[in-house]
Amino acid sequence: MGKIKTGFDSDFLWGGAISCSQADGAWNEGGKGKSTQDCRWLDGTWTRDQIEEKHHNNPFSHDELVAALADDGTEFYPFRRGNDFYHHYKEDIALFGEMGLKLFRTSVCWSRIFPNGDDAEPNREGIEWYRSMLGECKRHGIKTFVTMLHYDIPVNLVVKYGGWKSRKTIDFFVRYVETIVREFGDLVDFWLPFNEFNAARFSPWDGVCLVKDEEGEDFDQAIFQCLHHEFIANALAVKTVHELSPGTPVGGMIARFCTYPATCRPEDNLQAIHDDQYSNWFYTDIMARGKYPAYMDRYFDKLGIEIQMEPGDLDIIAANTVDFLSFSYYFSQVSTCDQGWEKTAGNLVMANKNPYLETSEWGWQLDPLGLRITLNQMYDRYGLPLYIAENGLGTSDTLEADGTVHDEYRIDYIRQHVAALKEAVIDGVDVRGYMIWGFLDLVACGPLTMDKRYGLIYVDLDNCGKGTAKRYKKDSFYWYQKCIESNGKNLE
């Protein structure tokens, strides 16, 4: 009998994560082209209710796309501003170094490398910026976990080819992947082709760049067709990394919706199995097991979905499975066949409410134990190394006159999740890294606001992009510093 672990391995990777569209800004500098995320808009003067109403009830529409293509301003387009990481990266990465961070996750912006997606040559200025930024991480002894596509593709690919509806986008993506793996391979420790594969179903503009009201389109059919193309693109990205950068792990990711049956009624349990399959396992099964799972046949049949495939597609998916799995974890939800069950908000979805859990300021159900459950479930199913690619608390903060931010609520949240993570390690789960989401305040993805803050570092910008953009260390910065220093032993 082997001895059980008592805590984290000495090489456990304590990390932090951001994405290019939410952080970089500088949307039209350095040769960058307009991306799909640069097209999402918000009136920063709106109330919280107006913002939430738009976020939950209005999928990205054709009119919004047309307006965004015609508008080159930043006023109504928060992702074009981000938190200005593009200009602050040296100072920011120095702060990460001071914190003792071991792993930094960010994404490469496709439209900074190929401004239109179909350009013959990459944009050298974009490549140089990324080399400089990733090199800065290395100078501070920080490993890098790089997402190739965190929701944003060059918008030209949508306008000209229909985005992921077209197989051409797979070819353009592969060219982009080959370019960044060749150019940045020596500076990247982990590659992640796609952020949150399952976002497509819940947030189609983010996940597969689809507008909702395309005339005559069967929306579900279009989503799954796009997803099929993304699965091939993902497999080819895995192949490319294995060939061009052998030894560098390349993985898959979903937004993990931890799901509990509402009662012990058999119907609720069956519902929980289905919810888990359709929202979570479908995606990781394809990436890790290399084939479409049988349970989807019945689901596709019910929705009348027929995925168009070409000969060889399934072989590509089968031959190129991922080396690790990762996921974002923010909340858990309840599965029930009771249509009248009370609802609350959640990441990308509206969730069924769990009477045993508290919620965050934004209505997301707080469930640290769900993280331990998720880690056990995923490791049981796949036996692959796991990384928590995102976890954190989005809430408002107050910057005091002396430049401090007392965010004991965030410390409490992270403390409880790290404690649950440690239990999963002791359970025997091979989990190798934990990345706090948005650990430098950034534009939140759902509401498009700055005031839903996740950071351990405060950025002085408001929902309209007004402010000094100065960075301030929150109390949680010092807490995480001690947690990292003690390798997860000191959580006081």
Binding site for ligand BG6 (CB under 6 A): 19, 22, 195-196, 255, 328, 347-348, 390, 394, 437-438, 444-446, 452
Q: How many CA atoms lie within 13 A of 426 on its CB side?
A: 9
Check 64, 183, 230, 390 and give the catalytic one: 390
Q: Which two tokens stand for residue 292?
A: 């479409």
Tokens representing residue 42 in the block: 């918000």
In the bound state with ligand BG6, the residue whose beta carbon lies nearer, of 352 and 391, is 391
For ligand BG6, the closer of residues 8 and 197 by Cβ is 197
Nearer to ligand BG6, 42 or 316 (CB): 42
Whole-number Å distance between alpha carbons of 105 and 196: 14
145 or 292, CB closer to ligand BG6?
Answer: 145
Tell me which DSSP letter residue 187 carries. G
Query: Closest-CB residue for ligand BG6?
Result: 446
What b/e sequence results for 464-484 when a residue is b if at least 16 CB atoms lie within 10 Å of its CB, and e otherwise?
Answer: bbeeebebbbbebbebbbebb
Q: What angle do CA 225, 229, 231 make, to 5 degrees?
A: 110
Toward ligand BG6, which CB reaches closer, 268 or 275? 275
DSSP string, 82-130: TT-HHHHHHHHHHHHHHHT--EEEEE--HHHHSTTSS-SS--HHHHHHH
Residue 189 beta carbon to ligand BG6: minimum distance, rounded to whole angstroms: 20
Residue 328 is given by DSSP the state E
* Least Cβ distance, residue 390 to ligand BG6 (angstroms): 6
Going by DSSP bridges, is the β-strand pair 343-345/350-352 parallel, antiparallel, or unpaired? antiparallel
Rounded CA-CA distance 294/20 in Å is 36
Minimum CB distance to ligand BG6, residue 328 (Å): 5
Shortest approach of ligand BG6 to residue 447 CB, angstroms?
Answer: 6
Which residue shows structure tokens 């197989």?
167
Nearer to ligand BG6, 240 or 328 (CB): 328
Shortest Å, Cβ 235 to ligand BG6: 21
390 is an active site residue: yes
Taking the complex as a whole, how short is the minimal distance between the CB of residue 472 and ligand BG6, in angstroms? 20
Contacts of 93 (CB under 8 A, 6+ apart): 104, 133, 136, 137, 140, 142
d(CA 226, CA 221): 9
Catalytic pick among 128, 196, 310, 408: 196
Would you please indicate which residues are annotated as catalytic (active-site) residues? 196, 390
